[in-house]
Amino acid sequence: MRRSEYELRKISDGVFDKSTILSLQRLNTKGIIDEIKSIISTGKEANVYHGYMKGKEIAIKIYAVDASEFKNMEKYILGDKRFKAWRNRRQLIYNWAQKEFKNLSRVCDVIDCPKPFGVYKNILVMEFIGKNGIPAPRMKDLPPDNPKKYFDTIIQYMKNMYKKGIVHADLSEYNILNAGKPVIIDLSTGVLIDHPNAEEFLQRDVRNICNYFKNFGLKISEMNILKEIKGEE
């Protein structure tokens, strides 16, 4: 991986355990990761790194197996028919990484989001949104120049995801990048529309997005938007 175990640990802030390093080596052998260059972001659930795959910039998301912020994870994954029961925390995290990979794979052809390249255990490899190692900013940090255009695009994304059977379940200005267009990220929370809490999550997504864009003076009816997304116009 062009980095020693010590160097990886130094930039990992506790994310890299022995199992994770072995998993990175496996992904390297399979040609999915050639190099890890730098850290993009740190979080209580995962760290994201910038790297390369066959000369292409990639994002490497590594979920921390012992992270304390996964207490509420079960409400997003219980009831999802795609996943079997887990016996311990590590298996739950592996399912969580698989969940984001499956959700991205399901919707990447109908919305702008990172294209997934591979997943193994607690590591997800996907398209890097940015250039030369500099990630695109979140919409929270760089508001859109044309709020109406961005709003319409995001609602169309939500409609397209719903048609594909997915609700993001944690959508807000915090997990939409402003890359000259809105790019949806953090789909690990995404649930199938037959999930017991899908309707509640969709309503929350709509409320979050509408509240953000109302700050720009847009006149929005949450009820009408919800009906539009669900095709009940």
Residue numbers in the chain where pLDDT is lower than 50: 1
Q: Report how far residue 22's alpha carbon sits from residue 28's, in angstroms, rounded to the nearest whole number.
A: 10
- In one letter, which amino acid is 147? P
Q: Report how far residue 19's alpha carbon sits from residue 44's, in angstroms, rounded to the nearest whole number.
A: 19
Q: Enter the CATH code of domain 136-230.
A: 1.10.510.10
Tokens of 177: 């990048």
Annotation says 186 is catalytic: yes
pLDDT of 1 reads 47
C-beta neighbour count of 177 within 10 angstroms: 24
Based on the number of CB atoms within 10 Å of its own CB, is 52 exposed (0-12), middle (13-18) or buried (19 or more)?
middle
C-beta neighbour count of 224 within 10 angstroms: 12
Q: Report how far residue 232's alpha carbon sits from residue 19's, in angstroms, rounded to the nearest whole number.
A: 48
Active-site option among 141, 145, 186, 194: 186
- DSSP 8-state assignment for residue 85: -
- The domain ranges of the chain are 5-134, 136-230
What is the fold of 5-134?
A: Phosphorylase Kinase; domain 1 (3.30.200)
Per-residue pLDDT reduced to its tens digit, 75-96 = 888 888 888 778 788 888 999 9
- In one letter, which amino acid is 11? I
pLDDT of 12 reads 53
Helices (H), 38-174: 74-77, 89-107, 147-163
Q: Report how far residue 65's alpha carbon sits from residue 46's, in angstroms, rounded to the nearest whole number.
A: 9
Facing residues of 50 across strands? 38, 59
Which of 100, 45, 97 has the alpha carbon at shortest distance from 70? Answer: 45
pLDDT of 6 reads 53
pLDDT of 127 reads 98
Active-site option among 34, 112, 170, 194: 170
- Model pTM? 0.91
Tokens of 75: 């409400």
pLDDT of 71 reads 65
Q: Report how far residue 11's alpha carbon sits from residue 95's, in angstroms, rounded to the nearest whole number.
A: 25
Facing residues of 61 across strands? 48, 124
List, in order, residues 6 or more apart from 104 with CB less than 8 Å away: 113, 114, 115, 116, 126, 187
Which of 118, 70, 78, 128 has the alpha carbon at shortest distance from 98? Answer: 118
Annotation says 170 is catalytic: yes
